[in-house]
Amino acid sequence: MFYEGKSKYLVAVDCIIFGFDSEGLKLLLLERNFEPAKGKFSLMGGFLAEGENTEEAAARVLEDLTGLNDVYLEQLQAFSAVNRDPGARVVSVAYYALINIEEHNHASVEKHSAFWVRYEDIPELIFDHKQMVDKAIARLRRKAATMPIGFNLLPEKFTLTQLQKLYEAIYQQNIDKRNFRKKILSTGVLNKLTEKDKKSSRRGAFLFTFNFEAYKRLEESGGLFGVNI
Amino acid sequence: MFYEGKSKYLVAVDCIIFGFDSEGLKLLLLERNFEPAKGKFSLMGGFLAEGENTEEAAARVLEDLTGLNDVYLEQLQAFSAVNRDPGARVVSVAYYALINIEEHNHASVEKHSAFWVRYEDIPELIFDHKQMVDKAIARLRRKAATMPIGFNLLPEKFTLTQLQKLYEAIYQQNIDKRNFRKKILSTGVLNKLTEKDKKSSRRGAFLFTFNFEAYKRLEESGGLFGVNI
DNA sequence: ATTCAATAGTGTTATGTTTACACTTGTAAT
DNA sequence: ATTACAAGTGTAAACATAACACTATTGAAT
């Protein structure tokens, strides 16, 4: 039969988990407390189980680590170099996740010896995980420029300054405040609240929420959500 | 041990093979002469062998079908739905290839019951192959707008009209001739030859080649290869 | 009560990019 | 000589982007 005699392989998923707070863009990494590569740093991963697809496996692994479900999750690609994992032949499918860093389950993260690290300070990673991270940031940069995925990294209510800092962190460059505000407000996808955030200034900054409806309308009418950097 | 007790899976590759000629953008499809889904249409695929990664598997499968090696090949992503292939649980990694349609081995294509079909006329495909094709065209559109990958679909020497028709086929829309020429020539990545192509007009049209060196210089200096549609 | 410190908030102009648009040229076939 | 056919070419208007600096508001410190 057609499938007979074909080799089978372990299939894993690895998650590049992005978070964002006042210190900048961050990744959630593991210090491995198991072999192979015990004591070294890695992405969170897991093996594909029989009743699930890789996206479900990634979501499971992610929930196991962060306690979060219903997270923005997107496949990057498969990594399949023959010796990428010295312990066994494993084909790994990489996913990147955007989560609201404030909402994750700290206990669960500690239990896994996981920790948040600034994007600028990522340590050496095992296997091909650095390659995965590089792919992830490239994809995030591309996507964030034309689609409103950045909002997944922010709390529901955020200030324009926070939003700008997020884009600056993603693109690792400064953005002109006036141009940024003009552009983002002109898309009409932000709802300005009457409420102010007083944490970061005495004056206080207006809070905004993302308007999914307006975005959908914008998208359907062919308009694009373009944030220039 | 860490890997013990984990399930293993068949891993396949599927290739979305693009070609281009005077009739437009085309895909190379198979009429399956084997079960499952015998007689139906599919992409060219194959199983991952032990000593190769998925890209090598895709290149092998591609050479087997077309006789071509050294082809532009890029991974799309993995497809892993539990029942995507009714015959067995198979995780498939999809690749898209851009080939010069004139150069492929016709005998080999016929031997596999393969055939070229216009992008506009793609028949119903088995499994999730339609999804793969949709992903591939979306990726091709995105990439071709900022990187000079379209040239892989053309002969070494081509006219500006051919190049424009290629972009029109990729984006399925008409492009203004003057604006297109202005833009593409301003990038400096084309070498104008003294030679003319006389096949498509009495007057003849100048032939051009793609200048990889100029492109690399352009890329390094931060300039981008932008073709507007 | 005044001053200070710190972030929020706001418009205009110059430059560059994109779009829309139509006629002339060169050649082979008749 | 005429015709048919694709190749080849420039300008102006509309739009988008980039550069730029000051005022407003408030709580804390004096």
Please report, in tens digits, the pLDDT of each residue of chain B (229 residues total). Answer: 789 999 999 999 999 999 999 999 999 999 988 777 888 999 999 999 999 999 999 999 999 999 999 999 999 999 999 999 999 999 999 999 999 999 999 999 999 999 999 999 999 999 999 999 999 999 999 999 989 999 999 999 999 999 999 999 999 999 999 999 999 999 999 999 999 999 999 999 999 999 999 999 888 877 677 676 6
* Cβ pair A168, A175 in contact under 8 A: yes
Q: Which of B53, B80, B82, B141 to mutate to test the interface with A (most CBs of A within 10 A)?
A: B80
Residue A129 pLDDT > 70, yes or no?
yes
| CA–CA gap between residue A136 and residue A122 (Å, rounded) | 13
Residue B135 CB neighbour total at 10 angstroms: 17
pLDDT at A34: 76
CA distance B168 to A32: 51
User: How confident is the model at residue A219, as a pLDDT?
Assistant: 83
Tokens encoding B101: 């349609």
Q: In chain A, which residue's Cα lies nearest the Cα of B84?
A: A53
For chain A, give the mean pLDDT: 94
CATH entry 3.90.79.10 includes domain A10-144: yes
Mean pLDDT across the stretch A10-20?
98
Kindly determine whether residue A10 and residue B11, on different chains, have CB atoms separated by under 8 Å.
Answer: no
Distance CA A140, CA A229 (A): 14
Asked whether A159 and A207 are in contact (CB, 8 A), the reply is yes
**Which chain B residue has the Cα nearest residue A54?**
B80
Residues A116, A101: Cα–Cα separation, whole Å:
9
Name the nt closest to A204 by C-alpha to C1'. C8
Task: Please state at what angle helix B177-186 crosses helix B160-171, rounded to 10 degrees.
Answer: 110
CATH fold of B148-220, please? Arc Repressor Mutant, subunit A (1.10.10)
Minimum-distance nucleotide, CA of A228 to C1': D17
Burial class, A31, CB count within 10 angstroms (exposed 0-12 / middle 13-18 / buried 19+): middle
CATH 1.10.10.10 residue ranges for chain A: 148-220
Torsion of CA B171, B175, B178, B184, to 10 degrees: 0
- Quick check: pTM over 0.85? yes
A159 CA from D24 C1′ (Å) = 17
Q: Is the pLDDT of residue A228 over 70?
A: no
Tell me which DSSP letter residue A2 carries.
Answer: T
Helix (H) or strand (E) holding B168: helix B160-171
Per-residue pLDDT at A15: 98
Verify if strand C has an atom below 7 Å from the CB of B201. Answer: yes
Distances (CA, A) of B192 to A209, B51, B132: 53, 44, 37
Q: Is the CB of B223 under 7 A from strand C?
A: no
Closest nt by CA–C1' to A178: C10
